[in-house]
Amino acid sequence: MKKMILLLALAGFSLAASSQSKPMEIPLYEGKIPNEVPGPDQEKREVNPDKVEMISLVRTPTLSVYLPAKGKANGTAVVICPGGGYWILASGHEGADVARKFAEQGVTAFVLKYRLPDPAITSQPEITPLQDAQRALYLVRKRAKEWNVNPQRVGILGFSAGGHLASTVGTHFNQSQIQNPENLSLRPDFMVLVYPVISSDPAFWHQGSFERLLGKEASKEKLQAYSNEQQVTAQTPPTFLVHASDDGAVPAQNSVVFYQALLKHKILGELHIYQGGGHGFGMINPTTKDLWFERCVNWLASNKLLAK
């Protein structure tokens, strides 16, 4: 009888552990989705030959919630924006994998499945990703108590084009694109930008991301507005940046010019540029034993964001 009770207890513990690691996916909006263009749900989730999980044609944006193990939450939260050139979302190695690692550190993580700037899906492609990201921050702060989150310790992380989105959130927070009846802050408390698209300077921009977001005929003024190193102010959040020198898709100058803008405005920041690694490596840069995620955890701790 005692053996049976022990087995049941172990089974219950195993179930509890697995339930903690399994995310809860919630809709980003209640009711009508802003700027929605009616049409069939054609969302695709597939794995390419390089074993990269990709989501495309997102019509219904969601937030996947990764809670730390019971008693481990420290109050900090991060919204994660996968990259993909504003064309797809690399939701595995630039989303779920990172969220699980943050949860292990006691940080409540949220992977944002945001709408991409597709005129077949949204009537306002230019603002739709920003709209979804602002809504994610709003939801995390609105439901902070439910998720054991300190609403003054909510950050945003983005990879590649998701890094452009995250840096847009961190530099355009005074321009609300959502309904916010409680007037909750839409400013992230920190940013983590991993091989981010930042600048519209033709010398080192990622042309595809800007054309996808703003169109091929975007004006000089519009390109400048979304060239986020030019939008840094004294109110921009502290920022941790990661890049590789040999990134042939999104040159490392994108992170460099953003870091220089942080210095100019006396914003706390940290920049890590590896000599190799290329683009899109996610959590693990295969050219080095150094783990940028560990450097990021140290940076968060130095800014008192991991203490309960």
Q: 160-188: per-residue pLDDT in tens? A: 999 999 999 999 999 999 999 999 999 99
Alpha-carbon distance of 188 to 184, in angstroms, equals 11
pLDDT at 89 over 80: yes
Q: All domains of the chain, ordered by start, with CATH?
A: 42-302 (3.40.50.1820)
Q: Residue 29 burial by CB count (10 A; 0-12/13-18/19+): exposed, middle or buried?
A: middle
How wide is the angle at C-alpha 80 spanned by C-alphas 215 and 146, nearest 5°? 130
Average pLDDT over residues 286-290: 98
In three-state secondary structure terms, 99 is: helix
Q: Could you give the strand order of the β-sheet that contains 62-66, starting from the edge strand earlier in sequence?
A: 24-27, 62-66, 108-113, 77-81, 154-159, 191-194, 239-244, 269-274
pLDDT at 50: 79
pLDDT at 6 over 60: no
Token pair of 145, please? 């108590």
pLDDT at 301 over 80: yes
Q: Which run of H or of E encompasses 7?
A: helix 2-21
Q: 25-60: per-residue pLDDT in tens? A: 999 999 999 999 999 999 999 998 878 899 999 999
Q: Which of 271, 272, 275 is nearest to 286 (CA)?
A: 275
Average pLDDT over residues 77-99: 97
Place of tokens 């439910």: 146
Q: How does residue 21 score in pLDDT terms, banded at 50, 70 and 90? A: low
Average pLDDT over residues 282-302: 98
pLDDT at 17: 40
DSSP 93: I
Which residues does residue 70 pair with via DSSP β-bridges, in sequence order? none
The half-sphere exposure of 145 on its side-chain side, counting CA atoms within 13 A, is 1
Q: 255-285: per-residue pLDDT in tens? A: 999 999 999 999 999 999 999 999 999 999 9
Alpha-carbon distance of 104 to 101, in angstroms, equals 5
Alpha-carbon distance of 292 to 278, in angstroms, equals 14
